[in-house]
Every structure is written in structure tokens, then in C-alpha cells.
Structure 1
């Protein structure tokens, strides 16, 4: 009888010890990984595209483990996922990293729940779409993205591929200043044809990832037309080993209701711009998000021969050549840049004053391209003194 009592006491003690261990010991990492593996998920120790997972690389070791576990299962729309023990703030970093690294996760709502039972911790995702709805939408997205990728890959350099993607996305999308949740996704831009800054940036990221162009999202603030700071998102891209800021939203003239853009062609003011120059109007949430963008701005204008440090016949001839090419393509605008504010003002007067040279440039271009029929009396323009860029818009007779 005494032996039986001893056995019972030992069993009870063992149960208490196991329960105590379950409740207080750091078993959560082991439990989380084993729970995922038991369901058939492969928990990657690393990723082939590890360098492209910018926000993953900013996490702590334990946060990275949580990222890998959630990423392995989230596309199956689980009700909950066992994860390592993290504070709410730590897991928010994980959740943001997952979102900012993976633009195709647009089925996730921006809310989640963390809960625990003893040493077992659960991430409970909130979904914006059903699995069936998402699978239909991502199929449409991939079809449209593949068309862009095929066209972009006709170019041989990273710069030209980036330029094609920039121009295409800005030309097919209408800026959406509303609360439609799809407007902040790749689906909103590629399928619905309208997006806000988040939609532009995530779509560019999605396409660049497939093209092998290194990039990441930047969150921050930007001054609107009223001079008020508001939340904003843009991209950092690495082209030929140099990093630049890229803001497709602000290069889409549908964003600016005051401008009558007759050919719907994008601007290139915010195409490959340095942090020094962009910081006039933008501010990143963290300096290290865009600190690497130190290369010279305005490569687009330099490559086109439209960055001017001197006003005169050389500038006039360069603009005439570009206007003729623009008319041949059926476009109706031209953008030019200047190296300093004095040249900017002098150049504007040289071209657009009452006896400015743009009038004669249009007459000459009309002779070279008879189908253009541009009215030299109806020249419109948009001046950007912050970036020393002028855009001229041409109207047909």
C-alpha cells in the first residue's frame, strides 16, 4: 500500500513539474517550430532572396524566427499560428516586416491578435479577403504583372527596366484619394487601375522583385500642396550598384488635379533622386531607410541631355530635338531640368516669356512632324522650383 502511495505521489509531482515547466519555462520557440513542422510546413533557416527581404534583416534573432514560422503557413489562411513569445511591440515589428517585404500578402488585414496558453503563444491573423477571393485576385495580378515583366525584359539594363516600370505604372494608374482598401494593394493598381501611394509603391516592389532589381519600401511623411505633412510611402531602388529614391505617386500627374496633362505621360522629377534632394519635401520614418541614397539626382534628365547649366543656343537646340521626338511619339509634353535657381529662372524666361524661344521651337517641330499640329499660342507649363524642373504641355490646334 505504501508503495502505491509513493507511486501516486511521484506521478502527481511529475505532473506538477511538467505543468510548471509548461507554464513558465522558455519552451515557446521549440513548441512553435514543432507545431508548424507537424502541419507539414517547411521553416526556412534562410531565404534565397534574403538580401531582398529588407525588413526581415532588421529584426532580432527571435523576431526573425517568428517571421519565418508565420510566413511558412500564412498563405493557407490558418485560424492561428503558434509563435515564439514576443511582446506586442516586438510582434508588431514582425508583422510590419512581413507586410513590407511581401506585397502579395494583401489578403491580411492590418490588425492581428496575440494570445497565449501557458508557454504556447498564438498569432491570430485577421483577414481582409477569403482564401478563394484572394486566389482569384492573385491570379489576375500575376497575369498582368507577367505582361509588364515581358516588356521590361526587352531592355538590357537595370536603368531602362526601372524606367519602363515607372512610366508604365504611372500612365495606367489613376491616383485614388479614398479609403478603398484595395487602393493600397497591387490588385488596386494592376486590376482596378487606381491606387494611393502605398499601392504605387507595393506594385513597383512586386514588379522589381520579379525583375531582380533590389528595392525596399520607405514609410514616412511628405508635404502636401497645403504644406501639411501627411503619411506617405515610396521606394528605394538599387540601380547599377547605386541607391536612389523613387516616388512614382508624385510622378503621376493624376495626383495633381491642377495640371492638365494632355498625353497622360508621367513626370520624372522623383525618378532616381537623392535623399538630400528629396528631403526638401519628404521625411522617412527612420534615417537609415534612405541614408544610402547619396548618388546624384536627375540621371533621367542627364541621360536625355535635358539637364542645363547654361542658357543659350545649345539649350534651345537640345530642346528642339527632344520636342520633335516627343511629337513623333504622339506625346504632348516635355520636361527639362536646371542645375541652380538662377539658371532655372533665366531658362524659363528664355523659353516662355512673351518673345520666348518655345514658340519658334514648336513652329519648327510642327514642320518636322506635320501630323502634330501643335498650337504655339497655347503653351502651358508647370514649374517645380524645389527641384528646378519645368514641364511644358502642348495643345493641338
Structure 2
């Protein structure tokens, strides 16, 4: 967009950065979705029980040795248990505990239905319903982001007074152990990069930026058949490619190991299933969506520690498990959460801490923005975030800064450039902005004269 006044041309190209979340597909454990009965596969939309009364003696099982992740010498890791705590019956908790062992004992070869089986879990003295089994398994997945090999189906049967449950792995025992060691090594290298004395906010930003800078959003993936890795922390951390579930699980894993409480949240965004995180910083809960903060131009912080009001402008949160009946939870495509904290604070929001704040255009505010520009330019930052107060309408702030005389932001740039060396001077003609009216925010995309001269 071009603006001409008094013979001076002010050019401002509006670049609305498109975050790579346009087709975010959530891999919600569709437990029992594909059913094998008498070696025939039913419709993928039909929910039936897998007949597991057949002979199990022909398979050889091996225990996968899961090496513990190395702990940071500075920060005590946290183990997520909200999933198990939310289970209402002792039988559900019993199955949850049995899953912990079962998923590490995997067949070395596939069965007659082309699946790698895990050791069967037997819950004595009770017939568990399919809904109860689903809740137990989903709670286990919620608490264990490092478990990446579970397939999206299960089988169960009643044997006398007992319930027998069988799970499946997408890979063999040998392959699982090898891939887990690779994940373990990668995570340990990341943890070794943490420095002593980092605040919770600093550790969170470190992991947020690592995931975004080392992972590409896989927009072409629509289902597990396109590649199980993309829905896992393994895909995000090791392969560097993931969908929203991989982003969220890797954030949960890395932040928990960094001593920060972090869990996943299921919901929808733009009518599509989505997963993101809630994180506890300085005793307050916030929403964190690293998928939506990953853009084609690198990391942004529009969804870094935001409150309930802000997240609900673009995301819909699925209900808590307590609000879902057993009959409802039997449905394959029903999304629900095991923990939804109240997120009411904005104190640890990235922009609350780092944005230049403009309420009125007085001398004090002008000096603060100029100082923020100088600091950003000296670090060759890509963006300068500016938050607005309530004294004026959002568009009035925007017009005063960029479109109406005296074009305040350009005067800020001129003042900043007088104090910057040639390497860090800001290119006035290369500026662009990204508006976020919901957050009363604008991100100024900075350009530097030294960069344009080199090109």
C-alpha cells in the first residue's frame, strides 16, 4: 500500500503472515476404530470389539528397554498425572497402571492381522465397558507424551469374570527400542542446553523456539496412515516434521523435563480438530500454541501464554471428561480433556513482557518506543511488537502510527537510526506490519539497510 503526502512517498506493504496451521489434523486415539473379526476389516467408521480370544502362542514378545531421560542438573523434572487422577473408578486406574507395563512388551513379528501386539492386560473380577477402557487409554496417552508407538485401535474380551484388553504397536519391539534411544539422545542434548538460573518463562521460550525452529508443519498429513511419526513427539523432535499433536506433545515432554507443568488441550480451530498446550508459569496457567506460532517466516508469539478470553477468539476447547457421559465417551470422534485450568492472567504473556506499550502519544511514550526500536535493531530482531491501550480505538492507533500525518512510527525510526550504526540502521521502505486487533497488538516487521545493500 502506498501513501503519498507533500511529495514524500511512504511505502508500507501489509504482509499478513500465514501461520502453518491451515490443515491442522489431530490424531485423537480412535480406540477400536478399525476392527478385526475373522480376518476381515470392517468399515473404518464402525466401532466394534476386536475378537482377541484366538491363539496367542505363536508370537514372541520382547520387553523394550526405555532408558530414562537425563535430568537437567538445574531443574527437577515433573511427571504429568492429571489423566490418571481424573479417572473415576478403581478399575479404570488399574487398567491405566497395567498399560504402563503392557506397552513396553511388544511382539517381534506381526500377527495374522498384520499388527504388532503388546502384552494383554487382564483386569480381574470385573467386566469393564468399552467406554471405561477408552477413558483409561486416553488418560494414559494424555500423561505420557514420550509413548509414540501405540496404534489407534484396541481389542477387549470378557474371560470369565475378567476383562482382557489388548493394544497394538505401529512398530516392532526392535524398531521401537532403536527409535526410543534416538529420541532419548535428542531430548538429552536439548536438556543439556539449558543454563543455570533460567526463569520458568525463559525455559519455556527456549523450548518453544527450539520446537518451532527445528520442526516443519506437515500440512499434507490428514490421518495416521500418512505417517504415525507426524502425530508424536518423536516426529517433532527427531524427524523435524509434525502436525499439531506432535508439536503439543513435544512441548509437554520438553517442558515437563525442564521442571514446568505442561499438558495438552484438545479442541477445534477453524472447524478442524486441534491440539495445543496449557502451561504453568510462576503459579499461573496460560495457553500455549506452538503450532500457530510457527510461521513461514519463523517463530512469532501471538499464542505464547495467553488467557482464556484470547484463546477463545480462535480456538474452541473440548469439554472436560467429567462432563462427558460413558455413552458419549464410547464415540470414536468425540474429543474431551482431562484437565482444563482457568487461564486468567496475562502477566507472563510474551507481549506483556516484551512489547512496546502505547497508550497516548506523549513524550515519554515516544522515547520508550524509540528505545525499544534501538534495542530490537541492535539485536537484528525480525519484529517489534507494539501493544495499545484503551484510550483510543485500535484503528486510530494504527492510522496515527502509519497512515496519518505526522506518521509517528517513521519519526521513531528516524530518531532510532540517528543512534544506530550502519550495520543496524532500519530500512524505512522495507517495513511491514501484521495486525492483531483481538490482542490490541501490531507486529512491525523490521528490515535493515545493510541487508538490502547486501542483496
CA distance in 2, matches of 1:142, 1:356: 53
CA distance in 2, matches of 1:306, 1:290: 31
Q: Which residue number in structure 2 is paired with residue 218 of structure 1?
A: 265
Q: Which residue number in structure 1 is paired with residue 342 of structure 2?
A: 292
Q: Which residue number in structure 2 is paired with residue 306 of structure 1?
A: 356
Kept after mapping to 2: 8 A contact 1:81/1:122: yes
Kept after mapping to 2: 8 A contact 1:106/1:185: yes
CA distance in 1, matches of 2:86, 2:370: 49
Report the Cα offset of residue 182 of structure 1: 1.4
Q: Which residue number in structure 2 is paired with residue 7 of structure 1?
A: none
Compared CA separation, residues 336 and 140, structure 1 to 2 (3 A): farther
CA distance in 1, matches of 2:240, 2:391: 37
The answer to whether 1:117 aligns with 2:130 is: no
The answer to whether 1:59 aligns with 2:87 is: yes
Q: Deviations over 1:108-131 (max 9, x none)?
A: 112111123223322211211222
CA distance in 1, matches of 2:205, 2:386: 17
Kept after mapping to 2: 8 A contact 1:245/1:290: no
Aligned residues: 338
Gaps of 5+ in 2: 1-62, 64-75, 107-117, 222-226, 321-336
SS in 2 for 1:82: strand
* Match of residue 359, structure 1, among 407, 410, 417: 410
The answer to whether 1:73 aligns with 2:102 is: yes
Report the Cα offset of residue 332 of structure 1: 2.1
The answer to whether 1:270 aligns with 2:284 is: no
* Match of residue 187, structure 1, among 234, 254, 258: 234
Report the Cα offset of residue 88 of structure 1: 0.8
Compared CA separation, residues 351 and 194, structure 1 to 2 (3 A): farther
Report the Cα offset of residue 172 of structure 1: 2.3
CA distance in 1, matches of 2:240, 2:187: 13
Q: What does 1:147-186 align with in structure 2 at a 5 Å threshold?
A: 147-179=189-221, 180-186=227-233
CA distance in 2, matches of 1:89, 1:149: 38
Kept after mapping to 2: 8 A contact 1:269/1:298: no
Compared CA separation, residues 63 and 296, structure 1 to 2 (3 A): same
SS in 2 for 1:325: helix
The answer to whether 1:393 aligns with 2:448 is: no
Q: Deviations over 1:55-109 (max 9, x none)?
A: 1111022211110111123222234222353111111111111111101111111
Report the Cα offset of residue 278 of structure 1: 1.3
The answer to whether 1:326 aligns with 2:376 is: yes
Structure that is richer in helix per residue: 1
Gaps of 5+ in 1: 1-38, 40-47, 224-228, 255-260
Q: Which residue number in structure 2 is paired with residue 93 of structure 1?
A: 135
Compared CA separation, residues 366 and 138, structure 1 to 2 (3 A): farther
CA distance in 2, matches of 1:200, 1:98: 18
Kept after mapping to 1: 8 A contact 2:383/2:446: yes
Compared CA separation, residues 217 and 385, structure 1 to 2 (3 A): same
TM-score (norm 2): 0.68
Kept after mapping to 1: 8 A contact 2:359/2:391: no
Larger-Rg structure: 1
Compared CA separation, residues 50 and 176, structure 1 to 2 (3 A): closer
CA distance in 2, matches of 1:312, 1:136: 62
Report the Cα offset of residue 364 of structure 1: 4.1
Q: What does 1:232-251 align with in structure 2 at a 5 Å threshold?
A: 232-251=274-293
CA RMSD of aligned residues (A): 2.6
CA distance in 2, matches of 1:344, 1:146: 45
The answer to whether 1:103 aligns with 2:145 is: yes
Q: Which residue number in structure 2 is paired with residue 45 of structure 1?
A: none
Moved more, 337-346 or 69-78: 337-346
The answer to which structure, 1 or 2, has the higher relative contact order (CA under 8 A, 6+ apart) is 2
Kept after mapping to 1: 8 A contact 2:262/2:277: yes
Q: What does 1:327-342 align with in structure 2 at a 5 Å threshold?
A: 327-340=377-390, 342=392
